[in-house]
Structures are given as C-alpha cells and as structure tokens.
Amino acid sequence: MQITLAPMEGVVDHLMRDMLTQVGGFDLCVTEFVRVVELLLPKKVFYRLCPELKNDGLTPSGVPVKVQLLGQHANWLAENAVRAIEMGSHGIDLNFGCPAKTVNKSKGGAILLREPETIHQIVKAVRNAVPKEQPVSAKMRLGFDDTSLAIENAQAIADAGADSLIIHARTKVDGYKPPAYWNWIAKIKQQVDIPIVANGEIWNAADALNCQQQSHCDNIMIGRGALALPNLAKVIRGQEGHMPWVQVKDLLVKYSGYELFGDKGRYYPNRVKQWLGYLSREYTEAQELFDQIKRLRDSESILVEIQR
C-alpha cells in the first residue's frame, strides 16, 4: 500500500508536509496547485510553493514531493512541467478537481471535466514534454455536475499516457459532502488500465480498509484525515495507535512557526487556528485551545498558550 499526502491549497504547505512526513507513514506528497496561465512561471513561484525543490525535491525526512499544476493551456502546462522537473520535482500531477469558482471561471480544475478532449490534450502535452522516467499523474473528481463523463475522462487521461490517476470520489457539485463514492472508483478501474489511487473521506483505519475494498485500489491519498490525526498514515498501516495530545502539542509548537521564523505577521497564527479546526475532529483539547488563542495575533503569545 502506498499512502500519499493530499495537496491542500492554503493548508498543506511545506512546513505541514515536513511535520506530517516526519511523523511518518507517507510515501509521497503533492504540492498545493501551481496555477499556470500563458506564461513560463519564474522559478521563485515554484520555490515558494515547493521549497523542497532546494533539497532535491525531498521533505527534510526524505519523502519525495511532486509539483501539481493547474490550468487549461496544454502547451504552457507542458513548459512549466518541464521547468518543475528540471528544478527537482518528483514527477508532475495535473489538477482536474479544484472546485473553486475563481479557478473554474478561468477554465481550470474541475470545470475541465466537462471537456474530456481538453483533458486528453493537456495530459498528452505534459507527458510528451516530461522525461519518460518522471511520472505524470492526474487528479480528478467523478465529474463536474454529475458522473456521466467519469469513465470518459479517466480514459482520456489514461490514453494520453498518464502513469497514474488519483480519483477524489465525488463530483464538483458534491463538494466535500460525505459520502465519497468509493465504489465509483472500482467502476472506473474496470475500464482504465493504469494504476489508480483512491481518495476522499478516509478518517481512520476502518475507512481506509473500506475504501480499499470498495474501490479495489491498494493505494490511497489522505488529506483532511491527516490534519485531524497527524499519524493517520501510521495508524492505517497498523504501526501506531491514536497520537496522544501531548505529541500533537509539540507539532503545534513547531507549526506556530515562532521557533523557525519568529513572528512573521499573521501567516502562522492564522495557520495554527486553521489547523486546530481540523484537529478538533479528533481532539477536544484542540477546540479548547482554539477558544484560548482565537483572538491572539502573534506567534509568541500563541506559543505561550500552546505550551501552557
């Protein structure tokens, strides 16, 4: 079983990847999406979203990181994919799942699921441009409005030469509302001959097993579940029990950013609050801590509360 840490824009940044891969159990990370317009993006954009590129594309604990691109222009996506690879990305992932209105309005993310032919052209262009030994994957939802094009889109991706396909088992219209339709992944898998990674609504070891059984996939991707329970990947592998709150607090201290960065405006204070929102699902202490720090704006005073 391979477990990939899901890309989460505005949430899973390099520091979160660092912490969660140090906790362990992950084989691969995917970055937040890099939005590609008609332009070869400057290197600093890639370094900002993926500082691991300065470390051979590895997190400090050695887990490979793959850059994710989002956009509608096949040729520009291909050019930027080549740049990301040259800078050290471990393969390229293409985003066909983002539900954000602003992104969809400019024909990026899930809206492309209405156009299997465009998806085919994008994957083909990127696959042709990137060296063969570097994997190109795509991440899709089951559709935009409904599932009517799910198989066609998956086939478009596979026929274009993608090495694997990650399926978040919901349509754009479903948003993040449970359930995830894992059985749909199995239906797609019957028709498509590339490795598939199942994603969506895996919060504990039982969910992971159910997902594997219903999707007929060994490999899974987890996002929000790993933010709610930082050692979820290890719990799923049967290597550890539920992480105790004291250990989560150590991670929060690190994430507050204070030790590493000092007080850099509101960035880390806001991120800590956001993460506590996810942690509240598994830890009542997280909600209590959130209530204590919600009005604090600087890393230093947040750190004091975390360590209290």
Ligand X SMILES: Cc1cc2nc3c(=O)[nH]c(=O)nc-3n(C[C@H](O)[C@H](O)[C@H](O)COP(=O)(O)O)c2cc1C
Provide the binding-site residues for ligand X, judged by CB under 6 A: 6-11, 32-33, 68, 95, 97-98, 139, 168, 199-202, 222-225
Q: Which of 29, 50, 98, 217 is catalytic?
A: 98
Instruction: Rank residues 98 and 162 by Cβ distance to ligand X and give the closer one.
Output: 98
Q: How far is the CB of 9 from ligand X (least distance, A)?
A: 4
Q: Evaluate the omega torsion of the peptide bond into residue 99 and state whether it is cis, within 30 degrees of 0.
A: no
CA 45 to chain CA mean position, Å: 18
Q: How far is the CB of 246 from ligand X (least distance, A)?
A: 25
Closest chain position to ligand X (CB) = 223
Q: How far is the CB of 4 from ligand X (least distance, A)?
A: 9
Cβ-count burial 31-43 (b if 16+ within 10 Å, e if not)? bbbbbbeeeebee
Whole-angstrom distance, CA of residue 20 vs CA of residue 239: 15
Environment class of 190 (CB within 10 Å of its CB; exposed 0-12, middle 13-18, buried 19+): exposed
| Cβ proximity of 56 and 98 under 8 Å | no
Instruction: Rank residues 13 and 115 by Cβ distance to ligand X and give the closer one.
Output: 13
Per DSSP, the three-state class of 94 is strand
Instruction: Rank residues 10 and 238 by Cβ distance to ligand X and give the closer one.
Output: 10
Instruction: Rank residues 85 and 211 by Cβ distance to ligand X and give the closer one.
Output: 211
Active site (annotated) includes residue 29: no
Whole-angstrom distance, CA of residue 96 vs CA of residue 108: 7
Q: How far is the CB of 271 from ligand X (least distance, A)?
A: 12
Q: How far is the CB of 49 from ligand X (least distance, A)?
A: 10
Q: Is the dihedral of CA 143, 190, 154, 25 positive or negative?
A: positive
Environment class of 131 (CB within 10 Å of its CB; exposed 0-12, middle 13-18, buried 19+): exposed
Nearest to 1 by CA among 17, 25, 24: 25
Instruction: Rank residues 158 and 202 by Cβ distance to ligand X and give the closer one.
Output: 202
Instruction: Rank residues 170 and 258 by Cβ distance to ligand X and give the closer one.
Output: 170
Strand locations in 44-202 (E): 65-70, 92-96, 136-143, 164-171, 196-199
Whole-angstrom distance, CA of residue 196 vs CA of residue 215: 9
Nearest to 70 by CA among 9, 24, 129: 9
Q: How far is the CB of 307 from ligand X (least distance, A)?
A: 27
Which residues are catalytically annotated?
98
